[in-house]
């Protein structure tokens, strides 16, 4: 699933994304820490995975050792 970064706090690594249907989903710093990314910017498109209640993974396709460009 894809989303756009809505808010991002570079000190805590937490923020939120907006799904294409307009829902805002928050994430904490542990999600960004495990992504391998150093920072995000509002409006940036990201791929996400969610559990039933929270965002669990965030990444950018093609960036990182496990994300080859297809």
Q: Is the pLDDT of residue 70 over 60?
A: no
Domain locations in the chain as residue ranges:
2-59
Cα torsion 64, 30, 12, 54 to 10°: value is 110
Average pLDDT over residues 43-52: 94
Tokens of 52: 């039933």
CATH of 2-59 given 3.40.50.2300, 2.40.50.140, 3.10.20.740, 3.30.70.270: 2.40.50.140
Longest dimension (CA), the chain: 32
Tokens of 18: 């907006």
CA dist 39 and 36 (Å) reads 9
Average pLDDT over residues 22-30: 95
**Predicted pLDDT at 42:** 95
- CB 5 within 8 Å of CB 41: yes
pLDDT band at 62 (very low <50, low <70, confident <90, very high): low
């Amino acid at each position: 699933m894809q989303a756009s970064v809505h808010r991002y706090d570079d000190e805590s690594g937490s923020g939120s994304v907006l799904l294409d249907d307009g829902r805002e989903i928050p994430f904490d710093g542990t999600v960004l820490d495990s992504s391998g990314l150093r920072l995000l910017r509002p409006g940036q498109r990201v791929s996400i995975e969610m559990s039933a209640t929270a965002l669990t993974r965030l990444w950018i396709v093609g960036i990182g050792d496990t994300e080859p460009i297809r």
